[in-house]
Amino acid sequence: MSRRVQLAAAATMAIAAVMIVNFNVPRTAAQGNEQDITVSAKKFEFSPEEIHAKAGSHVKLTITSTDREHGIQISEFAEGAPTSGDPGLKFAAGVDKPEFKLPKDKAVTVEFDAVKPGTYDFKCSEFCGTGHRGMKGRVVVEP
C-alpha cells in the first residue's frame, strides 16, 4: 500500500472516530455551557418537579401545558438568600418578574443563566383548581 493511501486511510479513521465520539457523548453543562430541559405542566404538577443545573450554565426550559392554561413563576433568589442584591438566576433583559403564561398545548421557552448555587422555587401562577397551591417545584443549581 502506498504511503499516500495509508495516510488517507488513517485520516479517514481519525475523522470517523471524532464523529462517533461527538454524536454519542451527551453534552453536559460544562462542555456546552447550555442545558435544554423539557418540562410539562398539568393539573397540580410540573414534571420534572426538580430541575438540576450547573452554576455558570445557560438554562433553556421548554414548557408545555397539556391540559389547560397554567403559568410559571420562578424565584430569582435562592431559598434563604437575601432578596436584595444580585439574583442567582438571571433572566433576559426586560424580564422584570420571571412569570410566564403557559397556554394549553403550546411550548413556551423560558431562559436564564444559573449564576449562583442554591435552590430556587417555582410555582404555578395561574389558578387551576383545588390542588393549585401544591403545583410547584424547584431548580437546584449545583456548584
At 114-127, the pLDDT tens digits run 999 999 999 999 99
pLDDT in tens, 76-111: 999 999 998 899 999 987 787 899 999 999 999 999
Q: Are strands 58-65 and 34-42 parallel, antiparallel or unpaired?
A: parallel
Give the closest residue to 51 by CA, choosing from 42, 61, 43, 41.
61
- Mean pLDDT, rounded, for 59-69: 97
What pLDDT shows up at residue 10? 46
Domain ranges of the chain: 30-142
Nearest to 132 by CA among 75, 68, 39: 68
Q: What is the pTM of this model?
A: 0.75
What is the largest distance, in Å, between two alpha-carbon atoms of the chain? 77
- The average pLDDT across 49-67 equals 97
Q: Which CATH superfamily is domain 30-142 in?
A: Cupredoxins -  blue copper proteins (2.60.40.420)
Give percent of the chain above pLDDT 90: 71
Work out the average pLDDT over 29-39.
78
Question: Residue 10 corresponds to which amino acid?
Answer: A
Cell 430541559 belongs to residue: 37
**Which pLDDT band, with edges at 50, 70 and 90, does 7 fall under?**
very low
Indicate whether 17 pLDDT > 80.
no
Under 8 Å between Cβ of 62 and 36 = yes
